[in-house]
A and B are shown apart, each in its own frame.
Chain A
Amino acid sequence: MSTVFWRTIEKHESHQKALITDASSLTYRELCQQVARWETRLNQVLPQRGLVALRMGNTPAAICAYLACLRLTYPVILYSPALSEAGKAQMRLALSPALLIDGEEITVWQSGQYHLDENLAVILTTSGSTGGGKYVALSYDNLRANTNSIIDYLPMIASDVALLTLPLSYSYGLSVLNTHLEAGASIHLTTMTILDKGFWQLLETASITSLSGVPSFYEMLIRLRFTNRALPQLRYFTQAGGKLAGTHVKTLSDYADKYNKQFFVMYGQTEATARMSYLSPDRVSDKPDSIGRPVPGGAFLLVDDNGELIESAGVDGELVYQGPNTMLGYVASASELGTFTPESRLYTGDVARRDEDGDYYISGRKKRFVKLFGERLSLDGLENLFEEKGFSVKVAGQDDFIVVACHPSDEAEVINQLGKIVTCPPKARCVIGIGQWPLLANGKTDYASILKMAAS
């Protein structure tokens, strides 16, 4: 079996910086020493393979503990530093980890052993800090396969310095770490946000060669005139974690062309370790709404409501992924950690179509379609329609009712537009003006709250 980042870290140029923080840095040699120290510590408190819960902050200590767990083959739950006490208690009850690692501290939670599938490597959650999300179990092979596919298509080199602003407890952030460790490149961890002056100084002076971010990150970068900066060191940047409006994709693609950079629009889910597809940078300006094609080693299928394969282009169906990075499975309790029988297909819950060239487009979440008086309506599609008309809206819905939340000053115009777009009776639709979208802990829109606001 080929080795992967938790082993390759020993083989990189020892003076090359592995981790850089706003205050200090760690070379690959120092990283390996720290990881070895963690291995020894963990081995002392837990001599046999056991489940570890690790508070996965964006810190060198957490990264070293994570790598030590992988090297010892101790499965590790990477939980968000923002996880509430209630969420932590729930995790402890559900999965019974043997150890808790928080910063430098190791706490033994229970010494009793129970059987853990030999392939189980990492457990991530699909919700950030609230808890109550699903636990996704990933294998060593999942990590290895996805790391290698990503390295295959991204123009990553050992001299790169990636700026990491994404949380490491989130699969996208974790994949940035894993791939750079595999490539022997540097990861700059920062606690600064786009609204800190230091963030911009970092971009200008710290030789950052790549960026990664979710849609809101790029929306803010664009608003802050990111595209006026030449940033000669920056070679490429990636976007995932939801749909960035086509107009923004176009803006970033034009920027990339002008300043000789590459812009990758990508698609994935934690259930696929991280990455499932990417759009080749040379097609971004022609197809700003596309998620591109499967990553090396992966394949997409589209299936209709009856589970039949859709062969023709341009037809909507549920997007199904097959590849060596599809998870072991979901887990809800410790008893399920003993044996996994992974499904070969991952049903993404996204509705998509394929064009004649073989590029894919997401139409919306399967659950984000409602049947409104017989009319099948994509709530995501409706958001995009408004976006094209220059209105930022969030649309929530259930089967007999939709709510369009908009900025208070747009309310009258949105009501007017909505009447033109949908044919349902006025009582089945409602427009509310709100200053700020309610957000879930993972930064995504809290649609349930929007529905509740409309009801009250």
Chain B
Amino acid sequence: MDNQQKLVQSFVQALGVEEGQVTDQLTYNTIKEWDSTAHMILISEIENTFDVMLDTDDIIDMSTVAKAKEILANYDISF
């Protein structure tokens, strides 16, 4: 699985959404599946999948799929 697929899977697992829904534009709090509780599950899923430890600002800023890629890039994970 490449990083793109891994990231999509993290969203699918954590939010319980379909793969097709995980586009770059998918945004926090715009679908009922991605609320604050799910966000925390998503964060642990991403941390486990990519073996990173995100800081407070990263967690708060990770409000879209595109943003998630941008933040993970700071941890040397390329997409």
Q: Determine if A408 is an interface residue (Cβ-Cβ < 8 Å).
A: yes
Q: Determine if A157 is an interface residue (Cβ-Cβ < 8 Å).
A: no
Q: Determine if A216 is an interface residue (Cβ-Cβ < 8 Å).
A: yes
Q: Given A436-B33, A437-B37, check contact A225 B60 (CB 8 Å).
A: no
B63: nearest residue on chain A (CB-CB)? A195
Q: List residues of chain A with CB within 8 A of the CB of B55.
A: 225
Q: Determine if A387 is an interface residue (Cβ-Cβ < 8 Å).
A: no
Query: Which A140-194 residues have C-beta < 8 A from chain B?
Result: 193-194
Please encode chain B, from 11 to 37, with 1 for each CB lying within 8 Å of some chain A CB and 0 for all others. 001111000000000001000010011
- Chain A nearest Cβ from B66, distance in angstroms: 18
B interface residues, tally (CB under 8 Å):
20
Q: Determine if B41 is an interface residue (Cβ-Cβ < 8 Å).
A: yes
B39: nearest residue on chain A (CB-CB)? A195
In the complex, number of A-B residue pairs with CB atoms less than 8 Å apart? 47
Cα A308 to Cα B43 with chains together (Å): 49
B28: nearest residue on chain A (CB-CB)? A195
Query: Which A398-440 residues have C-beta < 8 A from chain B?
Result: 407-409, 434-437, 439
A195 pairs with B37, CB closer than 8 A: no
- Chain B nearest Cβ from A308, distance in angstroms: 42
Q: List residues of chain A with CB within 8 A of the CB of B39.
A: 195
Give B contacts to A, CB under 8 Å.
13-16, 28, 33, 36-41, 43-45, 55-57, 59-60
CB-based closest 7 A-B pairs: A435-B16, A224-B56, A225-B56, A195-B36, A436-B38, A223-B40, A197-B60
Further pairs besides A196-B60, A220-B36: 11, Cβ < 8 Å: A195-B28, A195-B36, A219-B40, A225-B55, A225-B56, A228-B56, A407-B13, A435-B15, A435-B41, A436-B37, A437-B37
